[in-house]
Chain A
Amino acid sequence: MRLDVSDLHVRFRTRSGAVHAVNGASFAVDSGEIVGLVGESGCGKSVTARSIVRLEDPGEITGGSIEFGGTDLTGADDRTLRRLRGRELAMVFQDPETTLNPTYTVGEQIAEALRVRRDPDDQPFLRELFAGVRSRVGSKRTRKRVLELLGEVGIPRPEDRIDDYPHQFSGGMRQRVMLAIALARRPSLLIADEPTTALDTTTQAAILERLATLNDEYGMGLLLISHDLGVVSQLCDRIVVMYDGVVVESGPTRELLSSPAHPYTKALLGCLPGRSEPGETLPTVGGSPPDGSPPPAGCVFVDRCPFARKDCREDSQPTLNLEDGRTVRCDVSDAREADLETMRVATAADPIDGPGPDLNPGDRGRTAAVAVDGGVETDSPTDSTADPSGSAVDNPILELEGVTKSFRTTDALVDRLLGTAERLTAVDDVSLELRAGETLGLVGESGCGKSTLARVIAGLESPTAGTVRLDGEPVDDVDSRRDDQLADVGVVFQNPGTSLNPKRTVGESLAEPLLEAGWGERRRDERVEELLSLVELSPEYAGRYPRQLSGGQLQRVAIARALAVEPAVLVLDEPTAALDVSVQATVLNLLERLQRQLDLAYLFVSHDLEVVRHVADRVATMYLGRLLEVGPASQVLSEPAHPYTAALLEAIPDSEATAGGAGLAGEPPSPTDPPSGCAFHPRCPMADDDCATVEPTWETVGDASSRCHYADERADEHDEN
């Protein structure tokens, strides 16, 4: 059945006025087709998805139509909706933590969908309540079907899991259960709202692969909503790009990605780190992201568009049909035909949420210098990656030697006294070095211990064994570090929303490290202003509270605070993971510039290999608390000498999907009971008996070292290719 959304408007009433979430979105999904709906946060894509299944509440549809198989859903009554939801239209939501009912077994939740499908109009109240109380699927026929479904979505040993509750499953497995609930209805269209965003890349690869297969087998249409162009391009036949509640461009995946027509699409593609050379300044989008206020009469992108003409603001933009089935909502031919390189030049000098309009004349000079600086850097993109060999002669600022950190898994007093508590080794025997001006990227799946390692280095945890050395001197946790040692390390956390005390102004937050370091008031005020300009924010931000800043601005303040007392090392724990790609680009550019300007050493923790490839000089891969591979980014991320690094690289979603090799089988084992031999062997495609018993030692491959028995063979393979 075909889905046809036309001129959809959705609005939310909040206490502080109406939020215009969708402002006239139009697109269609043909039966059996996979369509991707992309855009940054707040662009209205999720609201659109929810409106299709009519779960837009508390928003309201104020205009347009949603036709599905000939029925207009905006006017459908409860009975029609129930039938459609029960049989034709299924939805999978983003966060598998919260989408399953915690009080019923997964079997019952799937069986319920089966019962509804059988007869959507007859749902006996008492039968259903009783089914809930029993919470075990009774009917043999239903049970058999539920087991089939669980198997189909890839849950191992369904008989053992059918009577388990959602909390007993991992995130990826829960998302599979959600898929099973969707499939129970044999729908003709599945709407998946960011189905893999909360999951690891390796798990994501497996779920996407499963979605593709199901589309194949069931002939089921799929509307995939995502902020991640990689995910969308890997799976979709067509892509629809949304901005500020409006579809700005749509078309077949390949054409749209290779020659985007709308300036926003170009900007969005341009700021992906994977599309630029490592170390190169990323193109950014000027202006501020949409805020839900009523859109202008003309083009929604006008305020941020480098090609905007006077009439763009007032005149409604027509939807033009280009060749090869693409449509674009832009009337300016220069803009449509501009290539990415032109875009890059047009936007290079315009940081997204920097001071821009707020700057007074005095400051403008300073930022302009920054922009020129960035421009120069663009001409010699390989500069900073070629550099580390030069600084390698220096002594390392930070050294880790056999660092191990383990936690008790229980807080019970009895266990503590008897010493019977199980211990979880989060970081196991890690040795690393970091030099001035160098960026070390630390990568791995969630739970691999990379954040714990960052915390040990920062001094928030003290290591259970091994030594951390700062400037050659061993240090413990923050409570025992000297003032100059505290000043040496700055930390930037993942979530900018919680990095700053909401009750203190930006200025007060920035002044705190200075106060603790004993600076006088006058010097503090000067330094706060200096720090703000360092991160391209105008001095007036000092008086604002965190809630008045956007995510990107908050992260700039967090970076400024980390730099307050002039550290030599910056520990960056997923600094851009919570940001949109366009904001991410500006933050990455800022970090790049600061490193050059201040000769900083970065420890860059991230799950995103594209980002790490862009920023890092060297890369370390971590798995179950251990390092598996360390080496120059250029080598490790192109010719990995460890199968785990290779698997992580393979799991990166992109349009050149690797058929068949869908990343890693299974999920990481429990760190309380790590496997013998090589920790990775249960999931390794090339493991043999040796791997299960003998722990591999470090092997040198080129400039990198790898902890794999077969590192050399892998290297030979690369050479042959």
Chain B
Amino acid sequence: MSIVMAGVSLLTYGLVFVTPGDPAYTILHERRGSPPSDAEVAAFRAEHGLDEPFVSQYLSWLSGVLRGDLGTSYFRSESVSTLLLQYLPNTLELAVAAMIVSLALAVPVGVVSAVHRDTWIDRTSQIAALLGVSMPNFWLGYLLILVVSLQLGLTPTSGSGTLSHLVLPAITLGTGLAAIVTRLVRTSMLEVLEAEYVDTARSKGVRERLVVYKHALRNALIPVVTIVGLQFGFVLSGAVVVEVVFQRPGLGTLLVDAVFARDYPVVQGVVLVTAVAFVITNQLVDLAYVALDPRIERGERA
């Protein structure tokens, strides 16, 4: 865990130093559109601590991070932490909404699909899932805007704040995830339905509905939980694009703007937050695992 976090922070900070040439020069050049003078470069370096060796830069950044200080944006007056706090809630709101949309759709569809294997229900949902994973989400976003906002006029095309602002982005972002989870639930369910203990339950005279929902589903969800945890990264990635499509202020739009402006402290801040969020989610997943699968708990005790 701690090794991973150390690696994450090093990679996050080190990323921006892969810039070809001198970052200060590049930044100033791009900002002004003409080559900066040596004095300007030196001043910029001194202001942002870029004249120190990499290791000491990293260490001072890291000690700042540990105190909750992520530095200050090169271009805006706010500190990076302020910016993150300002934009994070919007993104979280979108991510959670998308997760809810997709899970609410995917788990029942996946189960029904597996139980009625090779029927038209199964085929339809399989094809829908295939379309879902194959569709670029930014494209789906525009299609939804075109139909729902422009043609039908049901929702606003962009912005954030109200529930109606959230509907389309959540659907856009949730579709891909829903498709992945549907396929996963189906596969996992099919596997579990073949298990001997399912036959044991049937041979006891247990009703088929209970065989499916009591004996099979719980076991089938064990691998699903892990993957859903891993898919949180997918949601965060997707959020970047979806926020741009719907022009929602959030970590995604913040990151894209910062990348273009070479506002490195902001880039580092956003990347660090997403990585930490991802690692935390996986810890939560491990907890959910213990709740679902009694075998895990024992493994830790032994």
Contacts and interface: CB of A to CB of B under 8 A. Distances in A.
Interface of A: 50, 53, 55, 78, 81-87, 90-91, 93, 95, 98-103, 112-113, 116-117, 120, 123, 125, 128-129, 132, 165, 167-168, 178, 181, 185
A102 B299 CA distance: 14
Given A98-B195, A101-B197, A165 B204 contact: no
Residue of B196, B200, B204 with most chain A CB atoms under a 10 A cut-off:
B204
Given A95-B196, A99-B197, A129-B214, A90 B295 contact: no
Given A93-B199, A125-B210, A112 B292 contact: no
A705 B195 CA distance: 48
Nearest to A83: B205
5 contacts: A85-B203, A102-B295, A103-B292, A103-B294, A165-B295
A93 B200 contact: yes
Contacts of A116: 204-206
B51 interface: no
B67 interface: no
B299 to A, nearest CB: 9
Contact of B204 (A98, A102, A185): A185
Given A128-B214, A129-B213, A167-B294, A103 B219 contact: yes
Residue of B197, B205, B206, B294 with most chain A CB atoms under a 10 A cut-off:
B205
B302 to A, nearest CB: 8
B201 interface: yes
Contacts of A83: 205
Nearest to B209: A125
A93 B214 CA distance: 20
B5 to A, nearest CB: 18
A486 to B, nearest CB: 38
Contacts of B293: 102-103
A691 B161 CA distance: 80
B133 to A, nearest CB: 26
Given A85-B204, A167-B298, A98 B219 contact: no
Contacts of A93: 196, 199-200
B214 A86 contact: no
A112 B294 contact: no
Given A128-B214, A132-B218, A99 B205 contact: no
Contact of B203 (A53, A102, A103): A53
B295 A167 contact: yes
Given A93-B196, A103-B219, A167-B295, A85 B210 contact: no
Nearest to A96: B196
Interface in B33-53: none
A123 B294 CA distance: 25
Contacts of B218: 103, 132
A112 B206 CA distance: 8
Nearest to B222: A103
Nearest to A110: B204
A93 B196 CA distance: 8
A78 B208 contact: yes
Contacts of A82: 205, 207
B205 A120 contact: yes
Report, nearest first, the 6 A-B pairs whose CB atoms are least far apart.
Answer: A86-B205, A85-B205, A98-B196, A101-B197, A165-B294, A91-B203
B215 interface: yes
B262 to A, nearest CB: 41
B199 A85 contact: no
Nearest to B205: A86
B165 interface: no
B218 to A, nearest CB: 5
A123 B206 contact: yes
A85 to B, nearest CB: 4
A178 B200 contact: yes
Interface in B175-220: 195-197, 199-210, 213-215, 218-219
A32 B141 CA distance: 69
A188 to B, nearest CB: 14
A120 B204 CA distance: 10
Contact of B202 (A85, A100, A129, A178): A85
Residue of B199, B209, B293, B298 with most chain A CB atoms under a 10 A cut-off:
B199
Contacts of A90: 203
A87 B210 contact: no
A102 B213 contact: no
A102 to B, nearest CB: 6
B214 to A, nearest CB: 5
A132 B292 CA distance: 11
B205 A181 contact: no
Contacts of A78: 208
A103 B295 CA distance: 8
A83 B214 CA distance: 19
Given A99-B199, A167-B294, 12 more contacts: A53-B203, A86-B205, A93-B200, A98-B197, A99-B197, A101-B197, A101-B215, A102-B197, A103-B219, A103-B292, A129-B214, A168-B298
A86 B210 CA distance: 14
A83 B206 CA distance: 10
Interface in B264-302: 292-295, 298
A180 B197 CA distance: 15
Contacts of A132: 214, 218
A412 to B, nearest CB: 11
Contacts of B207: 82, 123
B298 A101 contact: no
B47 to A, nearest CB: 44
A100 B213 CA distance: 16
Contacts of B292: 103
A112 B204 CA distance: 8
A78 B202 CA distance: 11
A116 B208 CA distance: 13
Nearest to A88: B205
Contacts of A117: 205
A53 B203 CA distance: 7
Nearest to A117: B205
Contacts of B298: 165, 167-168
Contacts of A178: 200
B83 to A, nearest CB: 40
Nearest to A55: B199
Nearest to B207: A123
Nearest to B293: A103
Contacts of A120: 205
Contacts of A103: 218-219, 292-294
Contacts of B206: 112, 116, 123
A123 B203 contact: no
Contacts of B209: 125
A113 B215 CA distance: 13
A99 B294 contact: no
Nearest to B215: A101
Nearest to A105: B294
A311 B107 CA distance: 60
Contacts of A95: 196
A132 to B, nearest CB: 5
B182 to A, nearest CB: 22
Contacts of B213: 125, 129
A120 to B, nearest CB: 5
Contacts of B201: 101, 112
Given A101-B215, A102-B294, A113 B204 contact: yes
A283 B298 CA distance: 50
Given A132-B218, A165-B294, A100 B208 contact: no
B197 A86 contact: no
Contacts of A123: 206-207, 210
